Structure 1
Amino acid sequence: MQLRVAVIGQPHGLKGEVRLDVRTDRPEIRLAVGSILETDPPEAGPLTVAKNRTYKDSYFVLFDEIKDRTAAESIRGVELVVETDEEEETGEDEWYRHELVGLEALDPDGYTLGVVKELEIMPGQDLLVVEEPDGLITRVPFVKEIVTEIDIEDNCVIIDAPPGLFSEEEMVISEETVSGSSKSDDSQDHASEETK
């Protein structure tokens, strides 16, 4: 089982140092000097931590295998992962990708929004990729304010989405507040474009 530790960000300086988007609550253990980390994609690694430091809430690392800024640029966006026992306890807000994919996405009232198809790793924040019942794909910011609850046992995730994020929500709002079908159709088309 692989646990995502961090995503490699932009280079810092000329000697190959990189900024990390840390995804573990134990970076002092996972990213300790001498740690050997597998990567996703696998061909980018493994990478050995030669030096680490924090500065203004950011985490910076030098790897033995990365000698200059050009090499650092080539690994930007690579995920650092470690092999871990599936039984190992994760942090309160840490989830394995395989735990999320396949969960039913519900709104706070229990209305079906779709099914989680993927977890996209992004520099700023991760995105839950949800396939709606009509086949449209919606990318949901994976933040506590929007993804309010994850219930693995009940096989669902609760999403308190802002208006218009999901096409069905936009269509229902339009039908309730606007008379005439043409305006409803326009709202649905607009929502569809935003979710592509």
Structure 2
Amino acid sequence: MSDTVEVIVGIVGRAHGIKGEVGIDVRTDEPDRRFVPGAVLGREGGGSELTVESARDHSGRLLVRFRGHPDRTAVETLRGTVLVVQVDATARPDDEEEYYDRQLTGLRVLDAVGAEVGRVADVIHLPEQDMLEIRTEAGPRLVPFVRALVPEVDLGAGTVRLADVPGLLTDLDDTPAEQPGPDAAPEGDA
């Protein structure tokens, strides 16, 4: 097993202005750590490394300038580049209630009684909250990654446990239509 793992931290977007700045689609919770001047970033799939010359926030968007890319023309060649770093494979966030996506992806998903119901396929970051995409026999399902619905994450055992919430892994289409009881009045004209 490798001591490090490659992690995506951003994707190079459009050039900004004429002085070599480029917008970054940030894919890390630690942009202040990953995009500091002097930081060296790899390219997914290989290629020469990129060194951050400067970084700044502009209207909620991260703008970065890379050494050796002094103008708009030079930086446009980087558009779409997936930026990666090597991190310690055992590294954990400072808060024990937080997890890196790479730690959750692939974990077995257990229901409230401990039966395996699927695997975590992905972690989706939405503005409102994070969602776990769970691959089940019935297809992919999304579960909000909140303590009320996912009360237990056990990295050592390789599992996440779901709360006992009826319908948590079913779609509306999977739920049988409500059938009238034996005493129900027939539909139609009365």
Q: Normalization by structure 1: what TM-score?
A: 0.61
Deviations 1:21-78 (A, max 9, x none): 25133x33322111111132334x5221111012344432122254426324332xx2
Structure-1 residue corresponding to 2:58: 55
Q: CA deviation at 1:152?
A: 0.9
Alignment match of 2:13 (pick from 10, 15, 34) = 10
The reply to whether residue 70 of structure 1 matches residue 76 of structure 2 is yes
Judge conservation of contact 2:122–2:134 (CA < 8 Å) in 1: no
Instruction: Give me the CA root mean square deviation.
Output: 4.0
Q: Normalization by structure 2: what TM-score?
A: 0.62
Q: Which segment drifts farther, 125-134 or 15-24?
A: 125-134
Amino acid in the other structure paired with 1:100: L
Return 5+ residue gaps in structure 2 as ranges: 181-190
Q: Over alpha carbons, which structure has the higher Rg?
A: 2
Quickly say closer, same or farther: Cα 1:7–1:132, change in 2 above 3 A. Answer: same
Higher helix residue share: 1
Deviations 1:166-191 (A, max 9, x none): 446753xx23x6129xxxxxxxxxxx
Q: 2: distance between equivalents of 1:12 and 1:142? A: 35
Return 5+ residue gaps in structure 1 as ranges: 181-196
Structure-2 residue corresponding to 1:153: 156
**What SS does the aligned partner of 1:88 have?**
coil
Quickly say closer, same or farther: Cα 1:91–1:82, change in 2 above 3 A. Answer: farther
Quickly say closer, same or farther: Cα 1:153–1:141, change in 2 above 3 A. Answer: same
Q: 2: distance between equivalents of 1:13 and 1:166? A: 44
Structure-2 residue corresponding to 1:179: 179
Judge conservation of contact 1:164–1:170 (CA < 8 Å) in 2: no
